[in-house]
Structure 1
């Protein structure tokens, strides 16, 4: 089925249809078209389109990965206003996990849960240099060679480079040799500096995030792209973020997946000062999933519904709006759990049941989205 036929089969002759067809058929995303889609209240129609595009690509299969998240340190000097996880250096609640404990956790998870990936993320700790991560990654690879290391955001890479007084490229090259397979998309938030100046003024700029991702892609390190929406950004700024991701993907083809997720304000400075009181909720999530499936059609293959920040029920509904991946089990997660918003652990059987209950076929994948097992 051609892309244009997908939307024609659902509804005809509307502005929504014309806008979607224009994006799908011209391979060109214009800011005003994207703003229109992000503003429209017609999430049912958008959902039908997103679901049709997903089904055309993946049929009834929905993937997930068995993994753990290892938050190796909560020491951080960027003091982001949207984060409830970090602690400043010297704080009584600050920690850095020892190499021995990191390896112990991963080996335990491999033996007990057959994990395929460790999501390795933490704060911007000014005491940790490239050698610290090289040592850990080399040990992970020797102890658990089939567990992929999906770790270190672009902003963490920037911090490590500054600690070592080297360049992000040198850090990435050394860590790639040590076993770093791919980068998560964290640190992007909204790729508009006017937003970053409000919510994360000490973190890397939008351009630096894009440059580090481009460098990673060029040396063979794939990555995810993310968008954290629901802080202080406008609809137009969300649109600009999406366009920047699309433009870089056209250049490098290095993004494996796009993961939009809603900001959780609980226990954060943004909530305390009254800037944002509540999370955006399901309406915006489903719209974001559908719009992302349309915009990234033919560009970014996989779209994750992120049960971690949106909850199981919304992740299930997101499948019907275009997402094809349920994310991971994320045993041991501490960043979102620091907000107290929800439980952040889920075993594979829970994900399998959640996918099956929606009438879809659960498929376990690896870090590169290769399918390993059908349930």
Structure 2
């Protein structure tokens, strides 16, 4: 039996935890460079604000309806997510972190599931300030469906019983199903499949022949047959990419190089945190495609590393080599990124007769990571990334909230 715990309007809820004045008013969180809405409070949704709507289209709502906007603070959201997950791990024997705001938990054998879920939901809200809903079902798809239904009810919906499923599935639109979406929904509706119950009861051979194995699994899960298990350990990634759009077009090649170095440092940190090494490297820098009247250049290069590594200094040296002659004068670059490719565990790497399988100073990198974990990211760094300088290529974040949970200097001050 699965439970899906989902933080309601998660990014907006995180902002409200430390800013009570935002509660009850329309609030949107903006994407990188304050471009468009990526999260909306219930009040913002009621104003008709759509996901992905450009920020400049929302300015009139600030004046008329008191709309509040905040720049995305992913450090805060990630830390709040970790706090929620820690509560779930204490309450459930097995937890799968599905996304920053959603986690599956194992409720097999739990008596009085609905009462347990209500108590857990209250605990998460009380300890973190994050409102949430919990859906329960014998499969992941049914738990996801139950969670959506819970958002408009008491906050917990249990579809463990066949009678409960028979009551809800005929009322649940097929386009709202996990794994269906807008692309497949019109084709299903044309076949007369309009609800989750219709998909559950449709001929299995037809679904498999017309839509493939993925939707066939969804159908089986709607019937109560689990096709997806709980994944407590995240599968190893095949690549890690760090990229950003710049606030303004950057013509200074040294600034672009500094940005790429910064992204390489962060990518290597992620690589080591997962216990992986990389055998390939790719860098790119793109001009502003939204200004076609300007000179355009999409610069990109990749290389196979002589030996797999997770050493930031070796990766930075390769980035410098790839940058030689890559950028053009007179081009305003708007986005750049670094990707580490062909990832694997060190013990899975095979050496040849003349070179080692792994290279780099593991002890130095471990010390660097330990310092930054203990005292905060950026306390120790490498000069190529200009980690102590205010970058000229930084993102536009004019409405960024403080790092309440990750910086001592940003702690709220209480006054008598």
CA radius of gyration, larger in = 2
**Higher relative strand content:** 2
Same fold by TM (over 0.5)? Answer: no
Q: Which has the higher contact order (CA 8 A, sep 6+)?
A: 1
What is the TM-score when the length of structure 1 is the normalising length? 0.24
What is the TM-score when the length of structure 2 is the normalising length? 0.23
